[in-house]
Amino acid sequence: MLLTIAVIIIVLATFMLIIYNMYSDYMARREEDLRIMYTRCRNIVSESEELLINQNQLPYSKTIVLILRYRILNALKRMKGDPRAKGIEERINEQQALIHNIEQHYKEDLAFRNPENDSVAVLQLRTIRRLRKIIQSELRAGTPVDVNLCQKEDRRLKLLVLKINISNLIQNVVLMRDLRQVGSCRTLITKGLEVIRRSGIKDNWLMEKSDTLNQMLKELENQVRQKSQEEVEKVNEKSETDAELDEIFGDKKKW
């Protein structure tokens, strides 16, 4: 009888130990998952705030500003249980107030400004790439911003990439033209015109730059043609001079 009781106690103790270990593993995994989620949320907040602070680099629409603000708000809501996060409720209320103010009073300035140099252009292109990824991510996450507006913003950013590249290309064409690098200059102009043509986008800015590139190509070809003509004239002039010198100083015929 005592042996049976002892065996039962051992079995129960083993069972309880297994249950305890399973629960401990579950709690450890849960805590790890929460730590990963909180870290991801903090990164989302930091990235979005960085993009908002640096929005003077690019023309930001009301749509993209709202997407970034909602992204911060949703990340803060998921961080409510994070013991390291302080003043979450206040930050949530602040974001909600900012979103309301943006929806009511935000004024867009979408005028395109040419990048000053290659470094600025690269920075702008990287920012656009990040913004487009965020738009797609937030669409999948069910952002409160209208889907049609998000898609419109994605198309605008795609056009902005084209404008930045063409603007930077024209600056490099001007530089190469000043350095008299005719071959490279012609190659860049042709490439720019082909990119605009293949885009199929009807945009006044692009049409204007297409005209500019065509005019630059025409001027370049005129310069090449004029230079070739001058070289031919120099060769002809040298031949005539050599002929005159031969006539004057060449061997005299003996009579």
Q: What was the pLDDT predicted at 200?
A: 87
Q: What was the pLDDT predicted at 43?
A: 93
Q: Is the pLDDT of residue 82 over 90?
A: no
Calculate the average pLDDT of the chain. Answer: 84
| Band of pLDDT at residue 242, cut at 50, 70 and 90 | low
Residue 12, in any domain of the structure:
yes
Residue 194, in any domain of the structure:
yes
Please indicate, yes or no, whether the overall pTM of this predicted structure exceeds 0.85.
no
Residue 108, in any domain of the structure:
yes
| Band of pLDDT at residue 27, cut at 50, 70 and 90 | confident
Residue 119: closest CA among 194, 55, 171: 171
**43 vs 20: CA distance, rounded Å:** 34
Residue 133, in any domain of the structure:
yes
In percent, how much of the chain has pLDDT > 90?
A: 44
Q: Is the pLDDT of residue 181 over 60?
A: yes
Q: What was the pLDDT predicted at 104?
A: 92
Q: Please give the average per-residue pLDDT across 70-91, as a whole number.
A: 87
| Band of pLDDT at residue 255, cut at 50, 70 and 90 | very low
Residue 231, in any domain of the structure:
no
Give the total number of structural domains in the chain.
1
Q: What was the pLDDT predicted at 168?
A: 92
Instruction: Give the largest Cα separation in the chain, rounded.
Output: 155
Contact between 48 and 72 under an 8 Å Cβ cutoff? The reply is yes
Q: What was the pLDDT predicted at 8?
A: 77
**115 vs 19: CA distance, rounded Å:** 63
| Band of pLDDT at residue 247, cut at 50, 70 and 90 | low
Contact between 222 and 229 under an 8 Å Cβ cutoff? The reply is no
Q: Please give the average per-residue pLDDT across 105-133, as a whole number.
A: 91
Residue 197, in any domain of the structure:
yes
Q: Is the pLDDT of residue 208 over 80?
A: yes
Domain that holds residue 173: 2-221
Please write the tens of the pLDDT for every residue from 127-151: 999 999 999 998 888 888 888 999 9
Q: Which of the two residues, 34 and 255, has the higher pLDDT score?
A: 34
Residue 245, in any domain of the structure:
no
Please write the tens of the pLDDT for every residue from 211-239: 999 999 998 888 877 766 555 555 555 55
Q: Which of the two residues, 7 and 223, has the higher pLDDT score?
A: 223
Q: Which of the two residues, 71 and 143, has the higher pLDDT score?
A: 71
Residue 253, in any domain of the structure:
no
| Band of pLDDT at residue 97, cut at 50, 70 and 90 | very high
Contact between 85 and 48 under an 8 Å Cβ cutoff? The reply is no
Q: What was the pLDDT predicted at 254?
A: 45
